[in-house]
Amino acid sequence: MTFEVKNGCYRYPGTERQVLQNICLQVESGKVLSILGSNGVGKTTLLRCMMGMLQWDSGESLLNGTPLRQIPERELWQKIAYVPQAKTSVFSYTAKEMVTLGRSAHLKMFELPGAEDEKLALACMESIGILDLKDKQCNEMSGGELQMVLIARAMTSNPAMLILDEPESNLDFKNQLTVLNCIQELSRRRGISAVINTHYPDHALQIADDALILNRDGTCVYGKSTEVISEENLNRAFSVRVCIRSVEVENEAFHCVIPISSRSAAAH
């Protein structure tokens, strides 16, 4: 599977601000793309344009060479699954019920999930280690638990590609690692493509093959994560001086991004 964006441009309706300018990217099967940028720069907008939830002003998104606008919506959502930011759920669904809802793209109109759908939902939960949550109410879950449930829900459609909006935000260290390991496992062992919108350059360096950094002027830097996530590019995108260092732990190298000071602080 190949997902592409070619020369994507977008501005918010009624404004002159070009949020996204000539965005080009490509995601292959089993690869992870990380999208980084400061708050309000347009990362979630980019995800929505990529999936066709918002229409590009110019440019296009393509799946296996076919423009998304030419793919029937039902067929598209069988191939691409979206995992939104996990927020406290107000729904009184159990985890199993929430995950089973992910089968909706495969059901006919007004058709309810059947025994096979529930069986698949439980299998997806077991595959990412959350089967013990199956009877727990979503509105009683921690942020980390709910995030994993949403990932399992996305997996029930057997997608070729996952698009995740800040999946590790507002989670503690352990739950961040759990989510990152899950994404890495799905891409490496199952060949699923993943696009992850994140605030954490360290996380992108840990799991992403490629990275795209959005700047406030709508431009971007795109390429291999170890090349794109540089001190210079992070300084420009976040207005923060950083140092990137490698740390070896048990014969494995980890990249650490250390913020030194903001530009405004440095100026004083």
pLDDT in tens, the chain (268 residues): 899 999 999 999 988 888 999 999 999 999 999 999 999 999 999 999 999 999 999 999 999 999 999 999 888 988 999 988 776 665 688 999 999 988 887 777 767 778 888 999 999 999 888 999 999 999 898 888 888 899 999 988 889 999 999 988 878 888 888 889 889 988 998 899 999 999 999 999 999 999 999 999 889 999 999 999 999 999 999 999 999 999 998 888 889 999 998 755 444 4
Q: Where are the domains of the chain?
A: 2-229, 232-268
Q: Is 235:241 a contact under the CB 8 Å cutoff?
A: yes
Nearest CA to 168 among 139, 147, 154, 153? 147
pTM of the predicted model, to two decimals?
A: 0.88
CA 35, CA 32: separation in Å to the nearest integer?
10
Give the dihedral sign, CA 215/221/225/229.
negative
Tokens of 58: 């110019």
Residue ranges of alpha helices (H) inside 108-259 are 115-127, 143-155, 173-190, 201-207, 225-228, 231-238
Hey, which CATH number is domain 2-229, 3.30.1490.20, 3.40.50.300, 3.40.250.10, 1.20.950.20?
3.40.50.300
